[in-house]
Structures are given as C-alpha cells and as structure tokens.
Amino acid sequence: MGMSGLTALVTGATAGIGRAVAVQLAQEGAEVVVHGRDAERGADVVAEIEKAGGAARFVRADLADSSDVLRLAEEAGDIDVLINNAGVYKFLPTSGMTDALFDLHMDLNTKAPYVLVRALAPGMARRGRGSIVNISTMAASVVTRGTGMYSASKAALEQLTEVWAAEYAEQGVRVNAVAPGPTRTPGTDDMDAATLKAVADTTALRRLAEPEEVAEAVVFLASDRASYITGAVLDVIGGRPAIG
Ligand code: NAP
C-alpha cells in the first residue's frame, strides 16, 4: 500500500490487534514505533518485524499517565500514521464500577488518543499529510449490559474521530475509526469460553475475528488507498444476524 518512507506509531502493539497492525504496516514498508508497557513482548514484535525485513523500534509508556503519553509522543518523533489502539475493557454493571476503573477507561480509551492527536497531528498538518486510525468497538454503538463505561469511552472516541477529521481535512490529514467485533486476543483470552461463544454468536459469521482480519481494515484506512475516506467508522463485526 506504498508506505515506505512513512513512520507509524501503533499504541498497544505488544499484543492482539495492535501487534497485528504493527506487523502489517511494516510489511507495507512503514517504519513502526511499537508501543506498549511490556518491554519483552515489545522486543519480540520488533524482532518479528525485523526478521521479515522491516524496520521497528519499541517505546515503553503507561498511557494511563498523561505525562507518559506526552513522553511517548516526543520519543516517537515525526509520525505520519498514528494508530490509537491501546485500550482497556472491564465489563461490570454500573453498580459495580469503581471510580478508579471509570478513570482508567477514560484515561486509556479517550484521553490518551486525545493527547496523542493534540501532540502529533499538528506536525502531520505542517508536513501536509498524515493518517490517524482510532480503534473503537462494536460496543460503542450496540447497547450491551455491563459494558457502560467501556462503550461510553469508545463512543467519545468515535465522536472525536469525526471532529478531528473535520479539523484536519484541509491540511491533508485523514482521521478514521475501526469498530471491531469480538476478536481473539490476549485480552479476550481471559474471558470464559461460554461468554466468548455467546458474544461470537451475536455476529452473522458466528465466530470471533482474528486480529489479522481487523488489522487489514486498519491498514487500509491508514493507507493512501483510502484517500477519499475521512471521518468514517468502519465496522469489522462479522455482520449482524437477522431477526427471525
Ligand atoms: P489486548 O490483547 O488486551 O492488548 C492490549 C494492548 O494495550 C497491549 O499491547 C497492552 O500493552 C496495551 N495496554 C494496555 N494497558 C495499557 C496502558 N495502561 N498503557 C499502555 N499500554 C497499555 O487488546 P486487544 O483485545 O487487542 O484490543 C485492542 C483494542 O481493540 C482496544 O482498544 C480494544 O478496546 C479494541 N477492541 C478489542 C476487541 C476484542 O474483542 N479484542 C473488540 C473490539 C475492540 P502491554 O501489555 O505491553 O502493557
């Protein structure tokens, strides 16, 4: 997709969807800044990319801490492609949600992307090109019991996607979101099999996505192949089953 010469920052690239996106962006020729907290898994992703002939480096940062988010932006340098992927999802009814978990969802899923866009999009605008893809979720638009804070933090991210698309369109920066359905990742591996099957059964395809299937959509939106797409939220949800 013609990404050589571009530098991409992928947050949460040490696992799951972020890791698959980082690997695919590198295959398309981008130099990838692999972000996460776990340095060992970060080094593993960098090694996988380098072994395939690509270029990558790891930067560690805790995105629940805004000063660390800013440090990540500084250490990443000039970024052409930003993938806001790192996220947290704890499913609890409102009565069980603590203030600390409320803050964690907002800090990681909404504020960290906000701080990164505020820090990195002006540079893209100055250089006259850039692409940002925010990873949302099916739960941002489908009412589900127990996902309130997660859904709200990602619905805010979808709204910001449209606002940022409008703010930066004339400066050559496109901003889109991908809303995945249930996907097999280390994050969902923690869930019990019956719950995962029940969620997979809410899709028309009746199965979980693999991270690589979600990454295909993310990399497409990030690339110039999607040059007339901005402000969009692309559902990668395996289809909704019909009623009846
Ligand atoms: P995952 O397997 O749980 O991996 C999470 C990634 O985020 C890891 O790389 C982790 O890095 C990083 N991360 C977590 N907390 C962090 C923190 N405080 N600071 C910095 N990095 C942190 O995630 P996933 O399932 O692939 O999900 C990725 C994105 O897709 C999330 O935004 C999620 O909401 C969204 N999504 C997932 C699904 C799904 O079914 N899996 C469905 C819809 C949307 P370290 O481990 O190195 O800290």
Of the pLDDT bands very low, low, confident and very high (cuts 50, 70, 90), residue 27 is: very high
Ligand 1 contact, 14 CB (< 6 A):
yes
Residues 6+ apart with CB under 8 A from 84: 11, 112, 113, 116, 117, 132, 133, 134, 135, 157
Q: How close is the Cα of 215 to the center of ligand 1, in Å?
A: 13
What distance in Å separates the CA atoms of residue 236 and residue 240, rounded to the nearest whole number?
A: 11
Distance 147 CA to ligand 1 centre (A): 16
Select from 14, 212, 234 the residue to mutate for testing ligand 1; criterion: most ligand atoms less than 8 Å from CB. Answer: 14
Domain ranges of the chain: 7-236
Give residue 243's pLDDT.
86
Q: Ligand 1 center to residue 150 CA distance, Å?
A: 12
- What the block records as the tokens of 70 is 């800013």
The number of beta carbons lying within 10 Å of the beta carbon of residue 132 is 28
Flag whether pLDDT at 144 surpasses 90. Answer: no
Residue 108 near ligand 1, beta carbon < 6 Å: yes
The predicted model scores a pTM of 0.98
**pLDDT tens string 175-198:** 999 999 999 999 999 888 998 999
Choices 3.10.690.10, 3.90.79.10, 3.20.20.100, 3.40.50.720: CATH for 7-236: 3.40.50.720
Catalytic-residue membership of 228: no
Q: What is the three-class DSSP state of 99?
A: helix
What pLDDT, in 10s, does the model give residues 50-83?
999 999 999 999 999 999 999 999 999 999 999 9
Q: What is the pLDDT of residues 78-129, one digit of tens each?
A: 999 999 999 999 999 999 999 999 999 999 999 999 999 999 999 999 999 9
What is the rounded distance in angstroms from the CA atom of residue 185 to the CA atom of residue 222?
Answer: 21
Element (H, E) at 40: helix 39-51
Q: What is the distance between the alpha carbons of residues 96 and 103, in angstroms, rounded to a whole number?
A: 14
Q: 152-172: per-residue pLDDT in tens?
A: 999 999 999 999 999 999 999
